Amino acid sequence: MSAPEGLGDAHGDANRGDLSGDLRSVLVTSVLNLEPLDEDLYRGRHYWVPTSQRLFGGQIMGQALVAAAKSVSEDVHVHSLHCYFVRAGDPKVPVLYHVERIRTGASFSVRAVKAVQHGKAIFICQASFQQMQPSPLQHQFSMPSVPPPEELLDHEALIDQYLRDPNLHKKYRVGLNRVAAREVPIEIKVVNPPTLTQLQALEPKQMFWVRARGYIGEGDIKMHCCVAAYISDYAFLGTALLPHQSKYKVNFMASLDHSMWFHAPFRADHWMLYECESPWAGGSRGLVHGRLWRRDGVLAVTCAQEGVIRLKPQVSESKL
């Protein structure tokens, strides 16, 4: 289907992936490519597993949204997604996705998706789809003024810069080496990365440019939304940890729920600014809010997530 006005506007990414033969994003060819088993029943496999050895929440959300999107007509698009993670996912077996067609209306359609492993639900969500409707009721916040991604170090180069600093504390060095070893299908460029001194006292806020690795193209709007669901969970809950990481280390951390609202067409293989903040943490839980901005200043997606975060004090090194 043809892209709506604005979806194919590159905003600085015009030369990326437009030549035939370019590598297709693994998010499309593998991660979000579900196997149909029956009507409204699909099987998904895994690409990247975090060091926690539990399934990545963004993968489950993205795959569930793919399954839901297959059950609606081409002229409706997701505008909201509300998810609960109810059990840890097992990376050793595939996930089954069952779609329930709750309602199909003239303007809005609602789908429920249950993700199952070992006969039990690990994840449930509801997605609402809407036929595009023009309206004079329009406003949005202003996009933060930040350096463009071309002026920033990529995630790998930034981590390497930190690791080369002889003054980097061991507790940070271990974590950064772990991050550097990950092979994730997304690219990240951190805005205003903290210095070593600033790592000791950070606000619960962060911003980074993000996009899918490889080429997706203007194609189906639904697929870009599914990729955004995958992207939105990466490093999101960690925003709530930023003020506390100098005194505590994570004993256990996992997403409890995740919501997304889709406002405007976008391309997930073009740079978008992810603005994240944590307005509250307590009771072994953290709350985070996020906004995904297109390069032209259009607010594309809003996200919210709560997760369980259990900490333990950092062990001081012996002075003997």
Average pLDDT over residues 41-57: 82
Task: State the sign of the Cα–Cα–Cα–Cα dihedral 63, 68, 70, 74.
Answer: negative
**In angstroms, how far apart are the furthest CA atoms of the chain?**
73
Whether the pLDDT of residue 317 is over 60: the answer is: no
- Which entry of 25, 128, 255, 278 is annotated as an active-site residue? 255
- Which entry of 233, 245, 269, 278 is annotated as an active-site residue? 233
Whether the pLDDT of residue 17 is over 60: the answer is: no
pLDDT score for 20:
34
pLDDT score for 316:
60
pLDDT score for 318:
43
- Which entry of 59, 109, 278, 305 is annotated as an active-site residue? 305
163-196 residue pLDDT tens: 666 766 665 555 544 554 456 789 999 998 887 7
At 302, the pLDDT band (50, 70, 90 cuts) reads: very high
At 252, the pLDDT band (50, 70, 90 cuts) reads: very high
| DSSP codes, 210-235 | EEESSB--S--HHHHHHHHHHHHTTT
Catalytic annotation present for 138: no
Catalytic annotation present for 9: no
pLDDT score for 13:
56
Q: What residues form DSSP beta bridges with 260?
A: 81, 303
87-135 residue pLDDT tens: 999 999 999 999 999 999 999 999 999 999 999 999 999 999 999 999 9
At 18, the pLDDT band (50, 70, 90 cuts) reads: very low
224-244 residue pLDDT tens: 999 999 999 988 999 999 999
d(CA 97, CA 66): 10
pTM metric for this prediction: 0.87
Find where tokens 């979806």 sit: 7
Q: What percent of the chain has pLDDT over 90?
A: 65
At 12, the pLDDT band (50, 70, 90 cuts) reads: very low
Catalytic annotation present for 255: yes
Q: Which residue has the higher pLDDT, 183 or 304?
A: 304
| Nearby residues of 198 by Cβ (< 8 Å), 6 or more positions away | none
pLDDT score for 256:
98
- Cα of 76 vs its chain's centroid, Å: 22
